[in-house]
């Protein structure tokens, strides 16, 4: 009986050590960089899954004096994806945050590492509609990010919460 207990405890220790070395317990997970967040934004929008896009914000935030929750943003993007892309037969080929020419993106992270301000950024989109590509690159106003856990999120209202494919509202 004692040997079984010892064998079981050794097995538990061995599994825990293996998980720690594999990083599976998340204890050594590194923080997401702002550039990785930009890649996540592109992937989420290109996936056309409203829930993934809605996960990019920290909630709640205020838009035009109205409190906005995740469900509101998710519903907006669901309609946007459905109406513009599905009903109109368009496809979104490119959605990426790039340098606003001639400047490079400027990312200023606060001293405590919990917030960031992004300026000199542009949004490049390419939508194919009726076999005609609509390429657009437009400069973005300064926007803020906030660190939630180890990941960056949009902090409040910004042009991403208002965008429509192929034009600004």
Per-residue confidence band for 2, with pLDDT thresholds at 50, 70 and 90 = low
The top-scoring range by mean pLDDT among 15-19, 27-31, 43-47, 128-132 is 43-47
CA torsion through residues 81, 86, 87, 93, sign: positive
- Residue 166: per-residue pLDDT: 43
Cα–Cα distance measured from residue 160 to residue 144, given in angstroms and rounded to the nearest whole number:
11
Judge whether residue 38 has pLDDT over 70: yes
Can you tell me the mean pLDDT for 59-64?
85
Apex 30 CA angle, 29 and 35, nearest 5: 135
pLDDT tens digit string along 82-133?
A: 877 878 788 889 999 999 988 899 999 999 999 999 999 999 999 888 878 8
- Residue 162: per-residue pLDDT: 60
Task: Tell me the DSSP string of the chain.
Answer: -HHHHHHHHHHHHHHHHHHHHHTTTSTTPPPPPHHHHHHHHHHHHHHT-HHHHHTTEES-EEETTEEE-HHHHHHHHHHHIIIIIIIS--EEEEEEEEE-TTSPPEEEE-TTSSEEEEESEEEEEEEEETTEEEEEEEE---EEEEEETTEEEEES--GGGT-BTTB--
> 88 or 21: which carries more pLDDT confidence?
88
pTM, full prediction: 0.77
């Amino acid at each position: 009986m004692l040997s079984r207990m010892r064998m079981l405890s050794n097995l538990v220790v061995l599994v825990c050590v293996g998980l720690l070395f594999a990083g599976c317990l998340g204890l050594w997970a590194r923080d997401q960089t702002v550039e990785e967040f930009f890649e996540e934004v592109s992937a989420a929008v290109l996936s056309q899954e409203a829930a993934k896009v809605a996960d990019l914000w920290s909630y709640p935030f205020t838009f035009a004096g109205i409190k906005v929750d995740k469900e509101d943003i998710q519903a907006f993007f669901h309609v946007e994806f459905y109406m513009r892309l599905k009903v109109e037969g368009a496809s979104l080929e490119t959605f990426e945050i790039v340098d606003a020419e001639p400047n490079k993106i400027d990312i200023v992270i606060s001293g405590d590492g919990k917030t960031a301000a992004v300026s000199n950024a542009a949004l490049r989109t390419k939508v194919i509609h009726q076999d005609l590509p609509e390429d657009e690159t437009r400069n973005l106003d300064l926007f803020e990010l906030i660190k939630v856990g180890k990941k960056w999120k949009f902090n409040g209202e910004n042009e991403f919460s208002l965008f429509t494919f192929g034009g600004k509202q």
